[in-house]
């Protein structure tokens, strides 16, 4: 039988003295998306510090697992959908548990598998922001993740992706894939993590990179016209 424990995060904004607490139920000693990965508190803190950009916006998190960044976005006033692989219902259950633990009854949960253009993906309402935390962890999935992001950005050309990931091998970068799928990425300075408190463990934010991705509209247009 799996054992869950609650991890509580507190995000602070020193500029305004505001703070936000989030409770995330994790499955202890599990793998994959059943616990909070190191990139998630970094992306969540970035989202909290940029909450003026997410309030009232439509936000999708892919490969959400416990969905910490998406939950922060929802608590900051965004309309949020958390998604995880169609083949991993236990991870979508984690998304639901996180929403419940934070009293967020209007957070939607759905199956999105990287690399698959499903009817559900095509039927998504208009999006302003896509969040992706630690989705680039297995090189065999890199192109599927980029392809999914590209598909979402072609449907929502004004939208942005905020993506955090741990660099596991410096030789395995996503730059060529971004170019192939008509995306452009800009590395974003990491947020101050010293003000983030976690009830259980500290997180290795020094290994995490943060990127903002957008559709390369010129390349996408050229592609469409050729
Ligand atoms: C490394 S975990 C990161 C979880 C969470 N985003 C975090 O940072 O704590 C990767 C997540 O991607 C999900 N995932 C794995 N393969 C996937 C696929 N092919 N399509 C969609 N999601 C997938 C896993 O279920 C898991 O939740």
Would you give per-residue pLDDT tens digits along the chain (226 residues)? Answer: 677 899 999 999 999 999 999 999 998 766 666 889 999 999 999 999 999 999 999 999 999 999 999 999 999 999 999 999 999 999 999 999 999 999 999 999 999 999 999 999 999 999 999 999 999 999 999 999 999 999 999 999 999 999 999 987 766 788 999 999 999 999 999 999 999 999 876 555 558 999 999 999 888 888 878 7
Q: How far is the CA of 150 from the centre of ligand 1 (A)?
A: 17
pTM: 0.95
Ligand 1 proximity of 61 Cβ (cutoff 6 Å): no
Query: Three-state secondary structure along the chain?
Result: CCCEEEEEEEEEECCCCEEEEEEEEEECCCCHHHCCCCHHHHHHHHHHHCHHHHCCCEEEEECCCCCHHHHHHHHCCCEEEEEECCCCHHHHHHHHHHHHHCCCCCCEEEECCCCCCCHHHHCCCCCCEEEEECCCCCHHHHHHHHHHHHHHHHHCCCCEEEEEEECCCCCCCCHHHHHHCCEEEEECCCCCCCCCEECCCCCCHHHEEEEEEEECHHHHHHHHHC
Q: How far is the CA of 158 from the centre of ligand 1 (A)?
A: 25
Structural domain containing residue 22: 4-225
Q: For residue 114, give the ligand 1 atom closest to its CA.
A: 20
Output the domain CATH number for residue 20: 3.40.50.150
Number of domains in the chain: 1
Q: How far is the CA of 47 from the centre of ligand 1 (A)?
A: 19
Question: For position 205, what pLDDT does the model report?
Answer: 52
Q: Ligand 1 pocket check: which of 9, 33, 148 to mutate, most ligand atoms within 8 Å of Cβ?
A: 33
Q: How far is the CA of 210 from the centre of ligand 1 (A)?
A: 17
- The residues with which 6 forms a beta bridge, in sequence order, are 25
Ligand 1 proximity of 63 Cβ (cutoff 6 Å): yes
Which residue is closest in CA terms to ligand 1's atom 25? Answer: 33
8 A C-beta contact, residue 106 and residue 79? yes
Q: Which phi and psi angles does 88 have, rounded to 5°?
A: -125, 70
Question: For position 171, what pLDDT does the model report?
Answer: 67
Q: How far is the CA of 139 from the centre of ligand 1 (A)?
A: 13
Question: For position 203, what pLDDT does the model report?
Answer: 52
Q: For residue 37, give the ligand 1 atom closest to its CA.
A: 9
Question: For position 29, what pLDDT does the model report?
Answer: 67
8 A C-beta contact, residue 72 and residue 48? yes
């Amino acid at each position: 039988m799996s054992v869950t424990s609650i991890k509580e995060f507190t995000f602070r904004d020193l500029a305004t003295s505001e703070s936000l607490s989030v409770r995330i139920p994790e499955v202890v000693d599990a793998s994959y998306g059943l616990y909070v990965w190191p990139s998630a508190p970094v992306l969540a803190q970035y989202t909290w510090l940029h909450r003026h950009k997410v309030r009232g916006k439509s936000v999708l998190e892919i490969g959400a697992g416990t969905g910490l960044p998406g939950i922060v976005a929802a608590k900051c006033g965004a309309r949020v959908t958390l998604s995880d692989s169609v083949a991993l219902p236990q991870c979508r259950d984690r998304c639901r548990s996180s929403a419940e633990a934070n009293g967020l009854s209007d957070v939607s949960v759905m199956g999105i598998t990287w690399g698959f253009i499903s009817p559900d993906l095509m039927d998504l309402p208009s999006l302003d922001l896509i969040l992706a935390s630690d989705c680039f962890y297995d090189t065999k999935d890199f192109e599927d993740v980029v392809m999914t992001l590209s598909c979402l950005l072609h449907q929502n050309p004004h939208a942005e992706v905020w993506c955090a990931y741990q660099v596991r091998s410096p030789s395995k970068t996503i730059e060529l894939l971004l170019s192939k799928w008509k995306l452009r990425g800009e590395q974003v300075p990491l947020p101050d993590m010293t003000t983030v408190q976690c009830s259980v463990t500290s997180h290795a934010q020094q290994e995490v990179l943060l990127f903002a991705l957008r559709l390369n509209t010129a390349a996408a247009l050229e592609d469409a016209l050729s």
